[in-house]
Amino acid sequence: VKIERVRIEQFGALRDFDTGSDPLPSLVVIYGPNESGKSTFFTFLGSMLYGFYPASRDAHPYKPWTGTHLEGEATGVLDTGVPWEVRRRLRSSPWGRLKRGTADVELRNATLPFVDHVPRDVFSKVFSLRLSELVELDGNTWSVIEDRLMASLVRDDVRLGREVGGELRTEAQRLWRPDNRGRPRARELTNQIRDLQEQRRIAEARDDAVRTAQASLVESRVERAELDQRREELSELRRSLERLVPAQRRLTEFDAAHEDAADADSLEDLPSEPLHQIERWSEEEGRIRTRLEGLEARALRLQEASANPDRATSALLRDADEIRARSADFDELAILRARLEGSEQDLAALEARIDRAQAAALLPTAPGAGPAWRDQFVALDPERVRACVQEARSARERLRAQVAEVPRTPTPSPPLQPESTALSTWTPVGALVAGIVFLGVGSGLGHMAASAAGGALLLFGMLGLGVAWDRSRRPQALTVAEPRAAQVAEHAQSVTALRREAEAAAEGLASLLAGLPVRPEILEAEDALGLAALLELPGLLGERRRRQHEGRDRRARLDGLEADARGWLMRVDGQVPETPDELAKAARSLGGRVHQAQGSESARDQARRDRELVRNELGEWTERAQELATLRTVLSDRLGRLGDGDEREGDRRVRRMRTAARRLGDLGEALRRDFGAPATLRADLETFAAAHPAQPLSQETLDRTRGALEGLARRAEELSGRIRGLETDIRHLEEQPSMARIYSEIETLSQERDGVRRERDRLELLANIVELAEQRFRDRHQPDVVRRGGEYLSRITDGRYVRLVHAQDEHSESLLLLERGDGRLVGLSEALSTGTREQVLLSLRLAAADHLDQRGERLPLCVDEVFVNWDRGRRDRGLELMTEVAKDRQVFVFTCHPEVAERLATLGARVLSMPT
């Protein structure tokens, strides 16, 4: 590609810049001082070839200060001679158009198609050589140069292969290393796995320990089970022995007792103590004999006592019932007599009462009155009399009260004062009451004196009341005021009426008592005693009549009975008493004799009965004595037989047999209670003997069994402790991490380690790929570059260094050697001057540019002040080299040095001065 004209309308500081219509030559010098726009010009060239970058006006570093768009164009010809013209503009978006030959295409911001074999960034790095890049090579080794060179051959978006490869390898080495350096992850994992393997071994040992412990546990449990079984068997044996050994002993005792008590049943009829019983019987027999003697004597006495009575006694006894019956009659006679005498006394007392009543109530003439009067008196109704007396008294009282109500003057009069008397009204009343009391007492008690006193008092009282009443009837000396006439008249009428009533009542009473010698004062006055006597008198008279009749009847009956009794006595006892007392005495005597006879008869009867009893008792006792004698004889004989003639020995034998029998019973009962029925026990013993032929049923066996059980118990305890210990051990062992868990962790870590190793291998492989790719890249580019670079270097150094040599040291590190004209190889790192290293780099960059576009259009090369550090000879040769290079590609040399511009101008370059 050759650029023949450049027109810059606006690009950075350059505006309306035009290289002119004359086509630019292959070698162009852009001359101008610093900051004059040389770099701007170079960037513009790149933009024309590759488009604006960045493609944003605002972000573009060469945005015009005026803020307008960037725009320009370039024309030229291709290596094939085809002309081309490109115009680009960057406003809000890039625009571009390319004319190539007859073709006219829209570019927008695309790279010109004939330069895209070299990317933009490669073009900017390889085809633009600046002094700074060469200066920075000071002290660098070939590796740096190589990197820079290689980097310059690629685009900016790719990192250096060496860098990426190193990065991958570093990462890989962090994961795994074949050597023992560092602490890669795989090694850490290996160490962890190793630790876990150790834990695994421990866990396996623990597992073995668990197994061993478990086996021991099982063994111990089996032994314990066997031991328990043995203990159970021995316990069963012990229980059997504990039951059967004493049972057997007891059974033996039982059997011995059974043998001892073999005929004890035949002694059941014997007394408990036969000999003693014989003695007791003898003693009892003796006592019975003595008693029999006493009974016989008594029987004799009783026989005598029961002899028959004499004739008189027999007669009395014969008539005893009649006599007893008559005794009652005599008793009745006495009673009747006593009653008769009592009636007579009562009648006398009644007579006295009647006399007193008559004295109180009747006139003194009365005692001489005849029987008609008495009959009339007896018929008198006392109640009617009492009513009439009461009526008469009431009438008088009303009259007296009316009289006392005589009308009075207004002047109060002194109260009515009765006339004072020696005998007050209250005195007869008291006598009347006392008389009634005495009369009642004397009548009730039959006391004549009291009755008499009572009658006297009653009479006195009645008399006193009569006197008082009489006084009251007489006019009184009253001091009264004169009543008013009407009132007095009315009062007089009332008094009159009342007086008539009183008189009528008195007449009624008089009519009732007509013919009777009643003392009138007891009817008119307040004579209570008299009135009471009057009222009592009919009753008393009636009573006296009744009693008189009754006394006569009793007397008659008594006389009859006494006559009959005398007749009977005469007949029975031959005596006739005269007086009642004699009669009673005779009767009593007869009764006493009958009683005595009857007593004797009772004694005889009792003696007879006693005698019979004694006889019976005598029989009983005699029979008993005989029985005892028989018993004694029989028992004595039995004892004699049992004792072989010795009664006492027989008794002892009986005792022994009985003791054995009792013991047999006790033993049997205890045996059954403690061990069950003997038959069952014998079966058990036989069963035991059959089941344990080697174990005699004895205390020794029992003791031995107990000893064995104790030993087994101790062993069982030991085993239990061991089992508990083993279980604890196993539990503790199993609480620790198990083999399975450790295996799992090992497996997990192993898998992770495998993954880490695989990842390391992958990263290492990628690193190798990257490095191999870079090696290929180097191999593809480097030989030609180095060869061409050597040629350029030889031209510049004028044969001082004839070529460049690429080699590797013992560490496979790349080396660049300079072969001098004498064949000596000089390392780049050896002391070379700055100018020489810059010349090496310029040579390699020129070679790289040749290498990069050798298969396409040759792109223009820009060289910016690279010669300033060179000595004159090499600078001239360098400038001449530019002329050589410009034969194949267009070269733009940027410089501010006029001698450089002039020298190149002399070599055929066209000098473009930048505007200042």
Partner 1 sequence: MVDLSLNEEVDAFVIAGDLFDGEKLSFATERFLLEQLSRLNQAGISVVYATGNHDAPTRARRGAALQWPANVLVAAGPEPRRQTVFDRDGTPVGHITAAGHATDRESRNLSAGFLRPPGNDPEVAVLHTHASSAAGAARHGRYAPSDVAGMARAGFDYWALGHIHQREVLSEQPMICYSGSPQGLGFGEVGPRGCLVVDLKSRRTPDVRFCSIAPLRFEVLRVGGIEEARSLDAVVRRVVEHWEDARRMDPADPGAEWIVRVELEGPAALAHSLRRTEDQEALQAELQAVLDAAHVERSVSRTQVPVRTSDYIARGDVLGEALRLVEELRGGAEPLDSVAPDDLGGLDISGGGERDAYLRSLLQDASGELLTRLLREAGQP
Nearer to partner 1, 156 or 710 (CB): 156
Q: Say which amino acid occupies 849.
A: A
| Binding-site member from 348, 416, 772, 805 for partner 1 (CB under 8 A) | 772
- Asked whether position 168 contacts partner 1 by CB under 8 A, the answer is yes
| Binding-site member from 123, 176, 801, 894 for partner 1 (CB under 8 A) | 176
Q: Say which amino acid occupies 891.
A: V
Strand pairing partners for 139? none
In 3D space, the residue among 114, 119, 115, 61 whose CA is nearest the CA of residue 90 turns out to be 61
How far CA 29 is from CA of 9, 12, 24, 32, 831, in Å, comes to 21, 20, 10, 9, 33
Instruction: Please choose, out of 354-362, 562-570, 757-765, 870-878, the segment that lies near partner 1 by the rule CB under 8 A.
Output: 757-765
Distance CA 354, CA 731 (A): 141
Nearer to partner 1, 425 or 768 (CB): 768
- Binding residues among 188-207 for partner 1 as defined by CB under 8 A: 203-204, 207
- Asked whether position 134 contacts partner 1 by CB under 8 A, the answer is no
- Asked whether position 754 contacts partner 1 by CB under 8 A, the answer is yes
| Binding-site member from 55, 82, 103, 158 for partner 1 (CB under 8 A) | 158
- Asked whether position 759 contacts partner 1 by CB under 8 A, the answer is yes
Give yes or no for a contact between 882 and 893, defined as CB atoms under 8 angstroms apart.
Answer: yes
- Asked whether position 111 contacts partner 1 by CB under 8 A, the answer is no
CB of 115 to partner 1, least distance (A): 15
- Cα four-point dihedral sign 239, 241, 246, 248: positive
| Binding-site member from 63, 326, 653, 760 for partner 1 (CB under 8 A) | 760
Q: Give the max Cα distance, the chain.
A: 240
Nearer to partner 1, 224 or 757 (CB): 757
Reduce the DSSP state of residue 818 to 3 states and report it.
strand
- Asked whether position 154 contacts partner 1 by CB under 8 A, the answer is yes
Q: At what angle do helices 185-260 and 739-797 cross, to 10 degrees?
A: 170
Q: For 293-327, what is the HEC assignment?
A: HHHHHHHHHHHHHCCCCCHHHHHHHHCHHHHHHHH
Distance CA 228, CA 241 (A): 19
Distance CA 452, CA 860 (A): 208
- Asked whether position 110 contacts partner 1 by CB under 8 A, the answer is no
Nearer to partner 1, 283 or 779 (CB): 779
CB of 745 to partner 1, least distance (A): 13
The footprint of partner 1 on this chain (CB under 8 A) covers a number of residues equal to 52
Query: Is residue 875 exposed (0-12), middle (13-18) or buried (19+ Cβ within 10 Å)?
Result: buried
| Binding-site member from 4, 319, 524, 764 for partner 1 (CB under 8 A) | 764
Give yes or no for a contact between 100 and 76, defined as CB atoms under 8 angstroms apart.
Answer: no
| Binding-site member from 480, 563, 765, 807 for partner 1 (CB under 8 A) | 765
Nearer to partner 1, 185 or 608 (CB): 185
In 3D space, the residue among 837, 806, 737, 758 whose CA is nearest the CA of residue 201 turns out to be 737
Give yes or no for a contact between 108 and 37, defined as CB atoms under 8 angstroms apart.
Answer: no
Nearer to partner 1, 193 or 431 (CB): 193
Instruction: Please choose, out of 50-58, 169-177, 397-405, 626-634, the segment that lies near partner 1 by the rule CB under 8 A.
Output: 169-177
| Binding-site member from 105, 164, 336, 369 for partner 1 (CB under 8 A) | 164
Nearer to partner 1, 759 or 791 (CB): 759
- Asked whether position 768 contacts partner 1 by CB under 8 A, the answer is yes
| Binding-site member from 777, 802, 832, 905 for partner 1 (CB under 8 A) | 777
Distance CA 777, CA 141 (A): 20
Distance CA 709, CA 593 (A): 107
Distance CA 183, CA 192 (A): 12
Nearer to partner 1, 76 or 119 (CB): 119
The owner of tokens 């344990």 is 692
Distance CA 522, CA 470 (A): 11
Instruction: Please choose, out of 151-159, 340-348, 512-520, 603-611, the segment that lies near partner 1 by the rule CB under 8 A.
Output: 151-159
Nearer to partner 1, 202 or 685 (CB): 202
Instruction: Please choose, out of 11-19, 330-338, 670-678, 759-767, the segment that lies near partner 1 by the rule CB under 8 A.
Output: 759-767
| Binding-site member from 61, 178, 370, 574 for partner 1 (CB under 8 A) | 178
Nearer to partner 1, 186 or 565 (CB): 186
CB of 761 to partner 1, least distance (A): 5
- Binding residues among 779-818 for partner 1 as defined by CB under 8 A: 780
Distance CA 777, CA 195 (A): 47
Nearer to partner 1, 186 or 642 (CB): 186
Nearer to partner 1, 623 or 761 (CB): 761
- Asked whether position 159 contacts partner 1 by CB under 8 A, the answer is yes
Residue 911 sits at φ, ψ, to 5 deg, of -100, 125
CB of 778 to partner 1, least distance (A): 9
In 3D space, the residue among 70, 79, 94 whose CA is nearest the CA of residue 7 turns out to be 70
- Asked whether position 296 contacts partner 1 by CB under 8 A, the answer is no
- Asked whether position 724 contacts partner 1 by CB under 8 A, the answer is no
Nearer to partner 1, 210 or 529 (CB): 210
Q: Write each residue from 726 to 745 as x if it is in contact with partner 1 (CB under 8 A), else as -, in one continuous string.
A: --------x---xxx--x--
Give yes or no for a contact between 27 and 907, defined as CB atoms under 8 angstroms apart.
Answer: yes
- Asked whether position 153 contacts partner 1 by CB under 8 A, the answer is yes
Q: At what angle do helices 371-379 and 528-573 cross, to 10 degrees?
A: 110
Radius of gyration in angstroms for the set of CA atoms belonging to the chain, rounded to a whole number: 95
Strand pairing partners for 5? 75
In 3D space, the residue among 138, 30, 158, 163 whose CA is nearest the CA of residue 841 turns out to be 138
Instruction: Please choose, out of 7-15, 137-145, 761-769, 879-887, the segment that lies near partner 1 by the rule CB under 8 A.
Output: 761-769
Quickly list H helices, 480-527: 485-512, 521-524
CB of 724 to partner 1, least distance (A): 19
Nearer to partner 1, 207 or 351 (CB): 207
- Asked whether position 565 contacts partner 1 by CB under 8 A, the answer is no
Tokens, residue 526 = 């307040």
- Binding residues among 202-241 for partner 1 as defined by CB under 8 A: 203-204, 207, 210-211, 214
CB of 111 to partner 1, least distance (A): 14
Reduce the DSSP state of residue 129 to 3 states and report it.
strand
Nearer to partner 1, 211 or 239 (CB): 211
- Asked whether position 160 contacts partner 1 by CB under 8 A, the answer is yes
- Asked whether position 185 contacts partner 1 by CB under 8 A, the answer is no
- Asked whether position 183 contacts partner 1 by CB under 8 A, the answer is no
Nearer to partner 1, 9 or 774 (CB): 774
Reduce the DSSP state of residue 9 to 3 states and report it.
strand
Distance CA 629, CA 636 (A): 10
Nearer to partner 1, 217 or 366 (CB): 217
Q: Say which amino acid occupies 771.
A: E
Instruction: Please choose, out of 411-419, 584-592, 641-649, 747-755, the segment that lies near partner 1 by the rule CB under 8 A.
Output: 747-755
Torsion region of 568: left, alpha or beta (phi above 0 gives left; psi -120 to 50 gives alpha): alpha
In 3D space, the residue among 383, 462, 451, 387 whose CA is nearest the CA of residue 429 turns out to be 462
- Asked whether position 757 contacts partner 1 by CB under 8 A, the answer is yes
Of how many residues is the chain composed? 916
Q: Which residues contact 718 (CB under 8 A, 6 or more apart)?
A: none
| Interface ranges with partner 1 (CB under 8 A) | 150, 153-161, 164, 167-168, 172, 175-176, 178, 186, 203-204, 207, 210-211, 214, 734, 738-740, 743, 747, 751, 754-762, 764-766, 768-770, 772-774, 776-777, 780
